[in-house]
Amino acid sequence: MSMWDYINDLPQLQHVELNNIVTLGEGHTPLVPSPNLGPSVGLRQLFFKLESANPTGSYKDRFAAAAVADMRQRGQSLCLATSSGNTGAALAAYCAAASMKCKIAVVENAPQGKVRQMRAYGAELYTVREFGPNSTVNQQVMEGLAGLVRQGRGALQISAFCYSPIGMHGVQTIAYELAAQRPQGIQHVFCSAGGGGLTLAIARGFEQLGTSGKLTRGPAVECVQPQGNNTIAGPLAQGQDRAQSVSCTTSISGLQVANVLDGNQTISACRASGGSGHLVSDETVYEVQQRLAREDGIFCEPAAAVTVAGALQAWREGRIAEDATVVCLITGTGFKDEKALQRLGDGPLPCLNSAAEVPDFVAGSGT
């Protein structure tokens, strides 16, 4: 099973012949209830969509699978990309499987675990000073790569509809799976946003299901961002129609996207679904990341904990009904983020002098 089971719901990908599809088993990720965290605050119907279960550890595998299939169909063999980590890892893996070259501009200070993963798949990496938090530098890098593509020197794959709509249609399959996994209905889906592509894909996926008559009523699609990257969520919550470029100050890797990218369309799509914008502090995100690991057994990257932080905040503010079914997208695993590992699990282990001390030590530790 893979996301390609939904090919009939993806007209933008129906030109791809079966022999050009490269799949590593992406999609069909679990939807699991929160055993402790949700009930402890009163959210009895809190669910997590574990996109961390994808082959390279994030939802970006859906993007890469669609993007690489389209490239093979078009006879392209060089992938040019930008990434803070997960997009690059996914593209590097799928390009390796398709025998393609992959060259990636990596944001400055990307987590080393993700950089190593990209290199493990054979991608060629480079970075540019201030790439990521500086919107001007970001635009210059992307425009430079787009210029190479116009010269016929590769295909540009950036996980945003404004640059790579074919790849982003693969991300829409998350919405199709959620509709199938919860046929009794979902009231809210919380999505984290950097440039807005993921949130827009979810909203468009549910909209397409409604248009085709496969879904009577879709959920409110909620956009959550760190306060230090308020390009979309703030304007959406304030009733504005346009996203804004910012000077990015958040430390949440993967969401340090200072440019608008898909922001305007995301605002429109979320509002049409009945959703709104939510801003959370970095400190809250790290606290929620720890709670997810220690209360629900889910170790996710900070960017994934953003969705849960947004849902808990909306619940405290009375913006979620008591009986509502709420889904938070767990966009990626925490095992690729070395700082997250150090923050939650670093420090020396207690070392006993002999095995004879084990019973007393264990008994004294409160077990």
CATH code at 239? 3.40.50.1100
Residue 359 lies in a domain: no
C-beta of residue 57 within 8 angstroms of C-beta of residue 89:
yes
Residue 350 lies in a domain: no
Number of folded domains that form the chain: 2
Residue 358 lies in a domain: no
Residue range of the domain that includes 29? 3-58+167-344
Helices (H), the chain: 37-41, 60-73, 86-97, 112-120, 135-150, 165-171, 173-181, 197-211, 233-237, 263-273, 282-296, 302-316, 338-345, 358-364
For residues 323 and 241, membership in a common domain is answered with: yes
For residue 201, give the 3-state DSSP assignment: helix
For residues 333 and 228, membership in a common domain is answered with: yes
Please name which of 199, 197, 180, 196 lies closest in space to residue 188, comparing C-alpha atoms. 199
- What is residue 366's predicted lDDT score, i.e. its pLDDT? 58
Please identify which residue in the block is written with the tokens 């889906």. Answer: 189
**pTM tops 0.85:** yes
Final residue before a domain boundary, out of 130, 163, 196: 163
Residue 106 vs residues 168, 247, 262: alpha-carbon distances, Å = 19, 19, 20
Between the CA atoms of 194, 198, 203 and 208, what dihedral angle is there, to the nearest 10 degrees?
Answer: 150
Please name which of 321, 56, 290 lies closest in space to residue 186, comparing C-alpha atoms. 321
Task: List 47's β-bridge partners, or say none.
Answer: 33, 327
For residue 172, give the 3-state DSSP assignment: coil
For residues 213 and 296, membership in a common domain is answered with: yes
Q: What is the sign, positive or negative, of the torsion defined by CA atoms of 175, 245, 255, 46? A: negative
For residues 8 and 121, membership in a common domain is answered with: no
For residues 261 and 330, membership in a common domain is answered with: yes
Please identify which residue in the block is written with the tokens 């399959």. Answer: 173
For residues 97 and 187, membership in a common domain is answered with: no
Query: Phi and psi for 334 in degrees, rounded to 5?
Result: -85, -10
For residues 97 and 39, membership in a common domain is answered with: no
Final residue before a domain boundary, out of 135, 163, 191: 163
Residue 235 lies in a domain: yes
Considering only CA atoms, give the Rg of the chain.
21
Residue 36 lies in a domain: yes
- What is residue 133's predicted lDDT score, i.e. its pLDDT? 80
For residues 121 and 179, membership in a common domain is answered with: no
Helix, strand, coil percent values for the chain (each to nearest 5): 45, 15, 40
Final residue before a domain boundary, out of 163, 182, 210: 163
For residues 77 and 178, membership in a common domain is answered with: no
Residue 349 lies in a domain: no
Q: Which helix (H) or strand (E) holds 79?
A: strand 78-83
Beta-carbon contacts of residue 102 (< 8 Å; ≥ 6 apart)? 78, 79, 81, 91, 92, 95, 96, 121, 122, 123, 124
Residue 72 lies in a domain: yes
For residues 268 and 337, membership in a common domain is answered with: yes
Residue 351 lies in a domain: no
C-beta of residue 342 within 8 angstroms of C-beta of residue 59:
no
* Pair of tokens at residue 116: 């190593």
For residues 215 and 74, membership in a common domain is answered with: no
Residue type at position 257: V
- What is residue 274's predicted lDDT score, i.e. its pLDDT? 97
For residues 215 and 250, membership in a common domain is answered with: yes
Q: Which residues of the chain have pLDDT under 50?
A: none
Apex CA 172: angle with CA 168 and CA 174, to 5°?
125
Residue 270 vs residues 191, 194, 274, 334: alpha-carbon distances, Å = 10, 15, 6, 27
